[in-house]
Amino acid sequence: MTTMNKSLIHLLLVCCGTGCVANGAREVYQALKDNLTSDDKAVLAATTSARATGCHGLCAQGPFVRILPEDITYCRVKAADIPEIVEKTLKQGEVVKRLLFRDRQKKTLVQGQNDIPFYQRQTRVALRNVGLIDPSSLQDYLERGGYRTLEKSLLDMRPEQVIEEIIKSGLRGRGGGGFPTGLKWKACAATPAQPRYIICNGDEGDPGAFMDESIMEGDPHSVLEGMIIAAYAVGASNGFIYVRDEYAQSVASLRKAIEEAENHGFLGENILGSALSFNIEIVRGGGAFVCGEETALIASIEGNVGEPRDKYVFPSEKGLWGQPTIINNVETWANIPVIMERGASWFTSLGTEGSKGTKVFSLVGKVANTGLVEVPMGTTLREIIFDIGGGVPKGRSFKAVQTGGPSGGCIPSELLDLKVDFDSLSQAGSMMGSGGLIVMDDRTCMVEVVRYYLSFLAGESCGKCVPCREGIKCLLEILTRICHGQGEIGDIALLEDIAETMQQASLCALGRTASNPVLSTLRYFREEYLEHIEGQRCPAGICRELSEFWIDPVICTGCGLCLPRCPVEGIKGEKKQAHWIESDKCIRCGECIDSCSFQAIKVK
Amino acid sequence: MSEQEYEENIEGFRKIISGFPGEKRYIIAIMHELSRCYRYLPRSALELTAEYVGVPFSQVYSMATFYRAFSLQPRGRFNIKVCDGTTCHIKGSNILLDEIHKNLGIGPGETTADREFSLETVNCIGACAIAPALLVNERVYPRVNAAALKEIIKEYRGGGDNDHHE
Ligand SMILES: Cc1cc2nc3c(=O)[nH]c(=O)nc-3n(C[C@H](O)[C@H](O)[C@H](O)COP(=O)(O)O)c2cc1C
Ligand code: SF4
Ligand code: SF4
Ligand code: FES
Ligand code: FES
């Protein structure tokens, strides 16, 4: 193994994250393996190694094959491209130009990952290994310095010192609430009862967010290492990772990592010869959003219906099976080993006064460079969405960015220079949440989006308390009416009234925050509500009863692109002449609008 | 297999259930395994589970209905899960649902008469960067539009093999 490493010339990193796998990355990886080991390429096999890694971040351009040490990054690779990559790049040292990243702004081809603007403004802390290592290889993790901080913490530090370091780092939980992690640990350690438990919250219920998934998939050992360090700090005996039902690949990756960690003495009895004994078990969720809430999650692990309970007593005192329990989010756990390695003062040098470190965002929706982005806290929305994300595609205009999941809010373009951290987002009426940033353009109807969130929440409310159960239902009914063109003048006041009651009277945070989407859009997009109610018009052309489309004959070039996209043959016209829509046929699906490159199709 | 045949498969259920420790906290894990093998949770399997872990049937039943991952109705051979998470929603998941209805005649929660396809919506499958996305069994399809959807259905229709996922 080591001798081969010495003569190793090329390292090929093939992204096998969920997004790239959906685009054929497994086939790419297999083709690479086949090509490297075929008879006549035996020499290559000895000097090249290929790794299937986690998400490289820029999922919009995947699948990726990245070649080190030259740092050649190939985008949108297909299995059929592999022979050419092997022949040209590996054997002859030539770059295959057509597979390089195309910088649309500068109109140049970019060779290295570090030269792609998307990556240049990022600081990868929680994602430090994702995309670089093979998650199934403990060896890869060790080569990146893995488990060294566990050793240091366990053998050179007292538990109180570990807790003190985490407190000093100012790390706040990345799962949404932003509670100081060190204080949570301290409270748990101070509770006399034994045994104590550690939980990793891998439920990631927010639709539109997938950073926890990418960490569990792409760097599972960093989560384990964080949890083991905490086990030492608070004296816990057992750990659980609760993974959401849809994340089969995360489960597989974690399972493998636990097995390897056990085989090498990082988990189990007397870890690294110390007095610490600790095990980790995976629990698969059942697909209920509310189970991401910590008390509901605990109920779910215990084998109950996942209903939250009142938090007069925190889980750090009475959690799983009534015992002291620390529950932290996946990204929070992944931060622990680096903080212990590089120290609290390094960590506090990143971020803002009230929010230290970095945050991983999933940048999705109507934005060019969709994917995962990690930046220091305090980076502005504009930098994230425009500089890193490349702005809104297809020549459309930015309308809002939704943060914080179903309990967050929509932030308008006036606030694009907002520095993102826990506190500034709350002040803007939204939330950090788990870090989903969903970009919306002028083809997104804010009223309909809020209706969507409430229908989501109506399905997810556990129904235990009345304000949440009935309140969401009422809000949803009113919003549905408005979207169908049956809104009434009094509706806006009614929405506000119900929303405020729910904020005050609900049992758990699901109900208390469910009104955020309503209140934030009423704050920033009240006009759009009025258009629906008074003007009987949906400016985005989404609510079918309130939309009508027409083709502007002056702009239409007659290219005919929209014609075959219409599912009901509702578009007519000759080539090179202005087209028109037969409005009695049109079902207002909007397919044509998205196909027209000239924005000739208008909403009445 | 007909529903009755499923119901008669008591030995199969017993084998799966006894693969887990007889404690309440394994109920969800047992239900996941039953779903994987039978594509739904047959009532008699739930009764056996309750007995095995020592809780009232009503508790197992309420869990089976609370968690979205489980179905009390048999699902089709190809289970289509259309993502209706926020990103997929604003990128047109409702158009996909309409198209599936047009092509297969089923809405969310329904199964075709020949038990080939069933349809569900899910809240995010973690592929938001390539939205709108859908799953057929375990396989993720990225950036699906009406035309692509037709191809996908064609691919599975008429005896596509069940191991079509990764
Ligand atoms: C309705 C609801 C859903 C939640 N979902 C998640 C989730 O999916 N993942 C998560 O880590 N935290 C979630 N949380 C926050 C958790 O309750 C808890 O605060 C968090 O796991 C603590 O970890 P942290 O301090 O590291 O953030 C949710 C909270 C609520 C109220
Ligand atoms: S909105 Fe849909 S139905 Fe109407 S013309 Fe455009 S493509 Fe055809
Ligand atoms: S795609 Fe646009 S420009 Fe082309 S025919 Fe249709 S409306 Fe006219
Ligand atoms: S999954 Fe490959 S870049 Fe994200
Ligand atoms: S919202 Fe559809 S995959 Fe995340």
Per-residue pLDDT tens over the stretch A36-88: 887 676 677 778 889 999 999 999 999 999 999 999 999 999 999 999 999 89
Residues B41 and B93 in one domain: no
Please, are residues A384 and A391 in contact by the beta-carbon 8 Å criterion? no
Residue A20 in contact with ligand 4 by CB distance below 6 A: yes
First to last CA, chain A: 68
Q: Is residue B16 part of a domain?
A: yes
Q: Is residue B55 part of a domain?
A: yes
Residues B83 and B154 in one domain: yes
Q: What's the whole-model pTM score?
A: 0.92
Per-residue pLDDT tens over the stretch A300-332: 999 999 888 876 678 998 999 999 999 999 999
**Domain membership of residue B151 as a residue range:** 78-165
Q: Is residue B71 part of a domain?
A: no
pLDDT of residue B165: 42
Instruction: Give the chain B residue whose CA is nearest to the CA of A463.
Output: B66
Of A200, A153, A491, A161, residue with least CA distance to A334: A200
Percentage of chain A exceeding pLDDT 70: 98
Q: What is the mean pLDDT of chain A?
A: 92
Q: Which amino acid is at A403?
A: T
A365 C-alpha to ligand 5 centroid (Å): 10
Question: A566 by DSSP, 3-state: which?
Answer: coil
Q: Is the dihedral of CA B13, B19, B24, B26 positive or negative?
A: negative
Please list the pLDDT of chain B residue by residue as tens digits (166 residues): 556 666 668 889 999 999 999 999 999 999 999 999 988 999 999 999 999 999 999 999 999 999 989 999 889 999 999 999 999 999 889 889 999 999 999 999 999 999 999 999 998 999 999 999 999 988 999 999 888 999 999 999 875 554 444 3
Per-residue pLDDT tens over the stretch A482-537: 999 999 999 999 999 999 999 988 888 888 889 999 999 999 999 999 999 999 99
Q: The domain A138-349 is classified under which CATH number: 3.40.630.10, 1.10.10.10, 3.40.50.11540, 3.30.200.20?
A: 3.40.50.11540
pLDDT of residue A3: 36
CA A527 remoteness from chain centre: 31
ipTM of the complex: 0.90
Per-residue pLDDT tens over the stretch A535-575: 999 999 999 999 999 999 999 999 999 998 888 889 999 99
Residues B129 and B158 in one domain: yes
CB contact under 8 A, B130 and A285: no
Residues B102 and B128 in one domain: yes
A534 C-alpha to ligand 2 centroid (Å): 25
Residues B153 and B83 in one domain: yes
Strand A436-441 and strand A571-572: the pairing is unpaired
Instruction: Give the chain B residue whose CA is nearest to the CA of A437.
Output: B87
CB contact under 8 A, B130 and A370: yes
Domains A10-121 and A446-534 share a fold: no
Judge whether B37 is annotated as a binding position.
Answer: no
Domain extents in chain A: 10-121, 138-349, 358-441, 446-534, 548-603
CB contact under 8 A, A207 and B123: yes
Q: How many domains does chain B have?
A: 2
Size of chain B, expressed as the number of residues it contains: 166
Per-residue pLDDT tens over the stretch A222-254: 999 999 999 999 999 999 999 998 899 999 999
Q: Residues with Cβ < 8 Å from B23, sequence gap 6 or more?
A: A303, B53
**CATH code of residue B104:** 3.40.30.10
Q: Residues with Cβ < 8 Å from A258, sequence gap 6 or more?
A: A224, A267, A280, A282
CATH number for the domain formed by residue range(s) A446-534: 1.20.1440.230
- The kind and range of the H/E element at A299 are helix A294-301
pLDDT of residue A39: 66
Select from B63, B86, B140 the Cβ nearest to the Cβ of A18: B140
Question: A414 by DSSP, 3-state: which?
Answer: helix
pLDDT of residue A345: 97
pLDDT of residue A229: 98
Q: Is residue B72 part of a domain?
A: no
Please, are residues B140 and B127 in contact by the beta-carbon 8 Å criterion? yes
CB contact under 8 A, B127 and A208: no
Q: The domain A10-121 is classified under which CATH number: 2.60.40.10, 3.40.50.300, 3.50.50.60, 3.40.30.10?
A: 3.40.30.10
Please, are residues A197 and A205 in contact by the beta-carbon 8 Å criterion? no
A-chain residues near B24 (CB < 8 A): 302-304
Q: Residues with Cβ < 8 Å from B12, sequence gap 6 or more?
A: B37, B38
A146 is written with which tokens?
A: 């893995």
CA A5 remoteness from chain centre: 34
Per-residue pLDDT tens over the stretch A451-463: 999 999 998 887 8
pLDDT of residue B127: 92
Q: Is residue B73 part of a domain?
A: no
Please, are residues A224 and A198 in contact by the beta-carbon 8 Å criterion? no
A548-603, what's its fold? Alpha-Beta Plaits (3.30.70)
CATH number for the domain formed by residue range(s) A358-441: 3.10.20.600
Select from A300, A364, A594 the Cβ nearest to the Cβ of B128: A364
Residues B24 and B100 in one domain: no
